[in-house]
């Protein structure tokens, strides 16, 4: 069993309920991972993912082995058939097979570089590891998705939702740098598995991959989208069509209290890290409707659920 | 319970005795930290602190989770109300709250940058983590203090002292780079809790923060200060009044054997790392009166005592 | 007991047999290292050594504490008697003594810099740690040798060899950068302890240290060397006589299938990482006679054997 994308969840409802059960007694399965180890391979920075996945592993008695590929290992080649006479010292074919012999599970974080759409869409790092590894692979954020985040978000929604079909809005917000689409993609895919009125709002030109958004409603007027919303989930991403470009930094898209006042006293969500007073005003982030800290807390239980399922499947 | 400074020690005598007891049987409490973890957050380089705190945690059955913030996480913002559209990706408000959910204790190393006296004096990193975290905080050297080092020094003094009131001299020594005041500050504060004849010696202009030194005796003549000393504790620091500047590299202040001969066969102490033949001559550092290796050894028991007290207080 | 070089193996045959026994039941001694720790000090990049040594430690219940010296600690001085007023903050004399107090075993990786033959030959980092440490030292690749790799290679040879005295060929192959001699050196020394027809082949000018190769046969004609070989072990190294220089990048020395066809259906070996289509053609590396993944697997059992022997000797 792998956990590569939201598509690996066979029943979101059941997974969320099981994660909530784990949260009530996180040490219940503390011998499940005994004498096993998980390799956490980081090709990019990480705080929540780094720490929550280690915490989840420890709760299961699984030994975490952390490796920062960028400065601790060798630069990896991913192309087939290349003559490796340049900067890359090792091919992913060997790396993935070899690490599979040292670790019982491999978790990988490798962001989109936003330079080559085709490569990013192919999830070069994640899927090559999956192709050549002989152990389960966990996605700790790939170029296309961040399914551990979206699973934590689903847990948080379940904990705070009080309706049969809440209105949930995914809103773009401005950011000084070009960011990947992974978090937004997985959130969209997760919402498509939920009973909810789901709306995506962003400036024109910021449409996410249509193969991800499918029939999800897009509303270009942010204020219109916010009306009667129960949950506002905010995230910046760069353009997908004009790939990796920042085509707007429109400050009017920042989330502030007047905008939140348009909602049905909505809860505010963000995956963190968040830039204060750029993405969201202090007043909202520090307000009582902000769920961001609880979302981060649920990262542990999302990861622990995934690792538990993998360990039970072995 | 936090361990932020020497002021968090309620009885230095009792703490030192308890640490010496731990040292005799370091594995006695090896299940105290079971199923818990300590996050070790490094904003700066570290050898002794990094390894001894991990060793102390392991002796208590506590899982150490190490994170080098500088290259593994996100650049943190510490100011309130800023528009975060520059290099900083995450505010300490979120970081501290979030990490508190993954780790049962947070230990932090963040040196003085020696660029902004007010910021350094405010212990921006340490105290902001303390402000927003919901778990105990341990100071692994802040801009103002290094209380784990001073506690290890107190243990070492207790082990080697044979008098009711020994003469202990803190001597400045030259160094090519500007260094923080943290070690010297905490040593001074710790000595003020001891029954001792305590003298600080340094060139004029190198006075430490007067709010730290208080009534401690300052003697500008190093040779005069050394007379009849039982312990010589050496450390470089940059100017406090001319903040962060190196105003003297006077080689005459290096500690050599002729100077040690002025003492009462004094023991030599330094927190390490030490620059040989700049701070101290080989003959002294390698001599039989040098306690530097034992000081480093006691770092484990100082950390273990602090972690034990925190775990027992939870 | 230390494991610094192949010379520390008292009986290669017995060690290999014991490692194969460990491989069959790697968790048999899972309490041998209880409450002890091994410090893994990396002065250079590492994938296999980093992960397999941690895996081996965990299999023995030994706590691994990883430290990347280059960016986590202080720049070390190795010379005696220097005035340390330049870039180096700490002398190996203190570092080695101090770390010995925190870790029960110290493992060190420090490559040849290929700039100063005398310093590299003196194994400055490894042997200074050995000189000043008070705990066992393990070589995770020094400037002169990589005995954990060679031990894993010996295990792999034993697993696949079907003859009383197989023909084993160590072949140089081209590489764009100057590489150290450590792997080749230890392989040669290990082969000299085996019953085998051992041949080294490389272009003229690439002779390894004659004090290492001793009477081992050198054949400058690669095709001649390959005839009837049972095992082809490939590795690049820079010139030893013209120290650290790349004096040939002759592509004719790359290993491809036509060359392998000259052999007795030989197994292909390489320590990894390997540059595809530079050192070896895809067809050979991906072929059924390639043992490179199994060699990497045996790194765990080589390390575990060494750590087990050290723990049993304490």
Ranges of chain C with pLDDT below 50: none
Report phi then psi at A263, rounded to 5: -90, 175
pLDDT average, residue stretch A9-31? 98
Nearest by CB to B54, from C65, C83, C94: name it.
C65
CA distance A172 to A202: 5
Q: Flag whether residue B45 sits within 8 Å of chain C, measured between CB atoms.
A: yes
pLDDT value at position B71?
Answer: 87
Together in a domain, B106 and B153: no
Query: Do A120 and A179 form a contact (C-beta atoms < 8 A)?
Result: no
- Residue ranges of A for the binding site? 46-49, 74, 109, 141, 146-149, 175, 235, 271-272, 275, 299
pLDDT value at position B158?
Answer: 98
Together in a domain, C261 and C215: yes
Nearest by CB to A98, from C68, C272, C286: name it.
C272
Identify which of B198, B180, B178 has the alpha carbon closest to the alpha carbon of residue B190: B198
Q: Read off the pLDDT of residues C3-56 as tens digits, 9 standing for 90 and up.
A: 999 999 999 999 999 999 999 999 999 999 999 999 999 999 999 999 999 999
β-pair partners for C65: C39
| Angle subtended by helix axes A292-313 and A48-59, to nearest 10 | 50
pLDDT average, residue stretch B170-182? 98
C58: which chain B residues are within 8 Å (Cβ-Cβ)?
Answer: none
SS3 state at A138: strand
Q: Read off the pLDDT of residues A43-89 as tens digits, 9 standing for 90 and up.
A: 999 999 999 999 999 999 999 999 999 889 999 999 999 999 999 99
Q: Flag whether residue A55 sits within 8 Å of chain B, measured between CB atoms.
A: yes
Encoded tokens for A254: 């920042």
Interface test with A, best of B36, B54, B72 (most A CBs within 10 A): B72
Together in a domain, B102 and B186: no
Q: In what order do the strands lie in the sheet with A137-139?
A: A63-68, A37-42, A105-109, A137-139
Together in a domain, A26 and A115: yes
- Strands A197-201 and A217-219, by their bridges, are parallel
How far is residue A218 from each of residues A198, A199, B5, B88, measured CA to CA in Å? 9, 6, 54, 31
B50: which chain C residues are within 8 Å (Cβ-Cβ)?
Answer: 67, 72-73
Identify which of B77, B84, B89, B88 has the alpha carbon closest to the alpha carbon of residue B125: B77
How far A45 CA sits from the closest chain C CA (Å)?
A: 16
How far B272 CA sits from the closest chain A CA (Å)?
A: 26
Q: Flag whether residue A274 sits within 8 Å of chain B, measured between CB atoms.
A: yes
CA distance A283 to A276: 10
- Residue ranges of A for the binding site for carbamoyl phosphate? 46-49, 74, 109, 146-149, 271-272, 299
Q: Do A85 and C30 touch (CB under 8 A)?
A: no
Together in a domain, B234 and B124: no
Q: How far is CA B246 from the centre of its chain?
A: 21
Q: Flag whether residue B25 sits within 8 Å of chain C, measured between CB atoms.
A: no
Q: Flag whether residue A44 sits within 8 Å of chain B, measured between CB atoms.
A: no
Q: With 0-12 CB in 10 A as exposed, 13-18 as middle and 19+ as buried, what is C211?
A: exposed
Together in a domain, C157 and C276: yes
For CA atoms A194, A196, A197, A201, give the dihedral sign. Answer: negative
CA distance B72 to B55: 22
- The tally of domains found in chain A comes to 2
A277: which chain B residues are within 8 Å (Cβ-Cβ)?
Answer: 81-84
Is 90 exceeded by the pLDDT of residue B44? yes
Q: Flag whether residue A221 sits within 8 Å of chain C, measured between CB atoms.
A: no
CA distance C107 to C110: 10
Is 70 exceeded by the pLDDT of residue A198? yes
- Report if residue B209 sits inside a domain: yes
Query: Do A144 and A113 form a contact (C-beta atoms < 8 A)?
Result: no
Q: Do B276 and C82 touch (CB under 8 A)?
A: yes
pLDDT average, residue stretch B275-293? 98
Encoded tokens for C60: 């023995």
Nearest by CB to A85, from C51, C52, C278: name it.
C278
B230: confidence class by pLDDT, cuts 50, 70, 90: very high
Is residue B146 annotated as involved in ligand binding? Answer: yes
Query: Do B255 and B280 form a contact (C-beta atoms < 8 A)?
Result: yes
Mean pLDDT of chain C: 97
A282: which chain B residues are within 8 Å (Cβ-Cβ)?
Answer: 81
Nearest by CB to C296, from A83, A89, A101: name it.
A101
| Angle subtended by helix axes B48-59 and C92-102, to nearest 10 | 10
CA distance B61 to B50: 17
| Angle subtended by helix axes A147-160 and A292-313, to nearest 10 | 120
Together in a domain, B142 and B16: yes
How far C282 CA sits from the closest chain A CA (Å)?
A: 7
Please measure the distance between the N-terminal and C-terminal CA atoms of chain C and give it in whole angstroms.
8
CA distance C36 to A61: 18
Together in a domain, C197 and C276: yes
Q: Flag whether residue B204 sits within 8 Å of chain A, measured between CB atoms.
A: no
**Angle CA C102–C308–B31, to nearest 5:** 50
pLDDT average, residue stretch A239-250? 96
Q: Flag whether residue A23 sits within 8 Å of chain B, measured between CB atoms.
A: no
Q: Maximum Cα–Cα distance for chain C, whole Å?
A: 60
Together in a domain, A181 and A109: no
How far is residue A31 from each of residues A34, A60, A63, B59, measured CA to CA in Å? 5, 6, 11, 20
Identify which of C140, C9, C118, C148 has the alpha carbon closest to the alpha carbon of residue C67: C140
Report phi then psi at A255, rounded to 5: -90, 120
pLDDT value at position A314?
Answer: 67
Together in a domain, A84 and A166: no
- Report if residue C32 sits inside a domain: yes
Together in a domain, B187 and B115: no
Q: What is the 3-state secondary structure (H, E, C) of C29-44?
A: CCCCCCCCEEEEEECC
CB contacts under 8 A, C 174-193 vs A, are 176
β-pair partners for A3: A138
Q: Which H helix or E strand runs over C12?
A: helix C12-24
B84: which chain A residues are within 8 Å (Cβ-Cβ)?
Answer: 275-278
Encoded tokens for A186: 């997985």
- Report if residue C48 sits inside a domain: yes
The whole domain housing C196 covers: 147-295
pLDDT value at position C70?
Answer: 83
Peptide bond into B51 cis (omega under 30): no
Query: Strands (DSSP E) along B180-230, which ranges?
Result: 197-201, 217-219
Q: How long, in residues, is chain C?
A: 314
- Report if residue B1 sits inside a domain: no
B51: which chain C residues are within 8 Å (Cβ-Cβ)?
Answer: 39, 65, 67, 99, 102-103
Interface test with C, best of B29, B33, B48 (most C CBs within 10 A): B48
- Report if residue A32 sits inside a domain: yes
Q: Do A83 and C42 touch (CB under 8 A)?
A: no
Is 70 exceeded by the pLDDT of residue A301? yes
Q: Flag whether residue C82 sits within 8 Å of chain B, measured between CB atoms.
A: yes
Percent of chain A clearing pLDDT 70 (strictly above) = 100
- Report if residue A1 sits inside a domain: no
Q: Flag whether residue C63 sits within 8 Å of chain A, measured between CB atoms.
A: no
Is 80 exceeded by the pLDDT of residue B314? no
Query: Do A49 and A110 form a contact (C-beta atoms < 8 A)?
Result: no
pLDDT value at position B266?
Answer: 98
pLDDT average, residue stretch B234-253? 97
Is residue C271 annotated as involved in ligand binding? Answer: yes
Q: Flag whether residue B87 sits within 8 Å of chain A, measured between CB atoms.
A: no
CA distance C62 to C104: 9
Is residue B121 annotated as involved in ligand binding? Answer: no
Is residue C127 annotated as involved in ligand binding? Answer: no
- Report if residue C158 sits inside a domain: yes
Report phi then psi at C306, rounded to 5: -65, -45
Q: Flag whether residue B162 sits within 8 Å of chain A, measured between CB atoms.
A: no
Q: Flag whether residue C71 sits within 8 Å of chain B, measured between CB atoms.
A: yes
Interface test with A, best of B78, B85, B96, B133 (most A CBs within 10 A): B85
Report phi then psi at B191, rounded to 5: -65, -30
SS3 state at B59: helix
- Report if residue C1 sits inside a domain: no
Together in a domain, C156 and C248: yes
CA distance C309 to B76: 46
β-pair partners for C24: none
β-pair partners for C170: C200, C233
Percent of chain A clearing pLDDT 90 (strictly above) = 98
Indicate which CATH number applies to the domain containing B102. Answer: 3.40.50.1370
pLDDT value at position A278?
Answer: 98
Q: How far is CA B119 from the centre of its chain?
A: 19
β-pair partners for B63: B37
């Amino acid at each position: 069993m792998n956990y590569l994308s939201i598509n690996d969840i066979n029943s979101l409802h059941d997974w969320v309920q099981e994660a909530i059960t784990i949260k009530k007694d996180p040490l219940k399965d503390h011998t499940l991972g005994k004498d096993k180890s998980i390799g956490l391979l980081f090709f990019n920075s990480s705080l929540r993912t780094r720490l929550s996945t280690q915490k989840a592993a420890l709760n299961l008695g699984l030994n975490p082995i952390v490796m920062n590929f960028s400065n601790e290992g060798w630069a990896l080649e991913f192309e087939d058939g290349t003559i490796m006479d340049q900067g890359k010292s090792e091919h992913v074919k060997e790396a993935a097979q070899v690490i599979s012999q040292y670790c019982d599970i491999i978790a990988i974080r490798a962001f989109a570089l936003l330079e080559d759409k085709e490569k990013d869409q192919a999830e070069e790092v994640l899927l090559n590891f999956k192709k050549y590894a002989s152990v389960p692979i966990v996605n700790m954020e790939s170029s296309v998705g961040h399914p551990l985040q979206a699973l934590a978000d689903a847990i948080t929604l379940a904990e705070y939702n009080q309706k049969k079909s809440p209105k949930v809005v995914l809103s773009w917000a401005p950011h000084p740098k070009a960011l990947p689409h992974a978090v937004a993609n997985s959130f969209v895919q997760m919402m498509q598995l939920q009973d909810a009125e789901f709306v995506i709002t962003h400036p024109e030109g910021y449409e996410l991959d249509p193969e991800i958004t499918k029939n999800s409603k897009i509303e270009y007027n942010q204020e219109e989208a916010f009306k009667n919303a129960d949950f506002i989930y905010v995230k910046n991403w760069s353009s997908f069509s004009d790939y990796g470009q920042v085509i707007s930094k429109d400050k009017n898209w920042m989330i502030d209290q007047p905008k939140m006042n348009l909602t049905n006293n909505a809860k505010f969500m963000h995956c963190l890290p968040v830039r204060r007073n750029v993405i969201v005003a202090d007043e909202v982030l520090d307000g009582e409707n902000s769920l961001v800290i609880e979302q981060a807390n649920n990262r542990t239980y999302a990861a622990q659920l995934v690792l538990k399922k993998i360990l039970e499947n072995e």
